């Protein structure tokens, strides 16, 4: 039986170190990298996330440009603006804040030049990840990998289960597989998903269902990476039920203060990578 409470993984502290490192690297550059964010609609969570990204960019010395659009803006307008940003030498990263209210995210994201796609969602960046070529990888996937890294568990031969949509899970699966971990994605609507969970050394959950993962679903000592963030009353709550998970898991990311800060920090790393790709004309 596992006989200690889970160690909380301090994503905030890890993110702060990464941001300091990015700031130091930006200071050495001849020109400031630039990030443009397209924000559509009035979703409060999306506005909060963009504000956090803006603040992080300002602190790191990355030029930040925000474009606001009404919820019913046409895809044609968004794509035209992306194409303009694609051609600007002072914009190294382009990000469309998701979810979009009504527009097709696949069509809009596909308009971004792959070497400026700092979210790593462009089909070309996904393809490059799949075949092991250099490209830009999803910041949330990279952040999750670093959070698992700090636990010190060996990757090789371990089993991971990702409870999420296949679109979200795919880059995480690839990165874990590259490190020698056996990983699989399950849907919470699959009747047998809890059986897979009990075998997992690492659980990544991103379903937006507060407190859905209970301690009795887990293998004792498992690493639980909780990506879910849902506002319940005046609190932000994760997909893992913290009170029941803590006595069973070995490590747990808190909500807030876990995956969120790491995603923002790794976005800054992506902007730097995009800047370097463009500077050396290694366009994916």
Residues taking part in catalysis: 53, 97, 119
Looking at the chain, how many residues does it have?
284
Residue 85 C-beta-side C-alpha neighbours within 13 Å = 29
How far apart, in whole angstroms, are the C-alpha atoms of residue 131 and residue 82?
Answer: 27
Inter-residue contact 214 to 194 (CB < 8 Å) = no
Q: Which of 196, 205, 198, 201 is nearest to 153 (CA)?
A: 201
Sign of the C-alpha dihedral, residues 129, 50, 101, 71? negative
* Omega before residue 39 within 30° of 0, cis: no
Q: In what order do the strands lie in the sheet with 34-40?
A: 63-69, 34-40, 93-96
């Amino acid at each position: 039986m596992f006989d200690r409470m889970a160690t909380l993984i301090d994503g905030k502290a890890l993110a702060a170190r990464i941001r300091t490192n990015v700031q130091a690297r930006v200071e050495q550059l001849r020109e400031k990298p630039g990030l443009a964010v397209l924000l559509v609609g009035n979703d409060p969570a999306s506005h909060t996330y963009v504000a956090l990204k803006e603040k992080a960019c300002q602190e790191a010395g990355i030029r930040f440009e925000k474009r606001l659009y009404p919820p019913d803006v046409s895809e044609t307008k968004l794509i035209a603006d992306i194409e303009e940003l694609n051609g600007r030498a002072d914009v190294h990263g382009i990000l469309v804040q998701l979810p979009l209210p009504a527009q097709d995210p696949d069509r809009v994201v596909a308009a971004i030049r792959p070497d400026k796609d700092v979210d790593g969602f462009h089909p070309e960046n996904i393809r490059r990840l799949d075949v092991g070529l250099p490209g830009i990888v999803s910041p949330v996937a990279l952040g999750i990998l670093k959070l698992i890294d700090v636990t010190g568990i060996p990757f090789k031969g371990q089993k991971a289960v990702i409870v999420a949509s296949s679109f979200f899970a795919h880059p995480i699966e690839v990165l874990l597989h590259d490190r020698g971990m056996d990983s699989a994605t399950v849907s919470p609507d699959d009747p047998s998903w809890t059986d897979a969970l009990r075998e997992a050394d690492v659980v990544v959950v991103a379903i937006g269902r507060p407190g859905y993962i209970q301690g009795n679903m887990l293998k004792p000592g498992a690493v639980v990476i909780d990506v879910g963030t849902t506002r319940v009353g005046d609190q932000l709550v994760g997909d893992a039920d913290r009170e029941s998970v803590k006595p069973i898991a070995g490590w747990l990311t808190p909500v807030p203060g876990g995956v969120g800060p790491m995603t923002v920090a790794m976005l800054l790393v992506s902007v730097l990578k995009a800047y370097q790709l463009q500077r050396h004309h290694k366009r994916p």
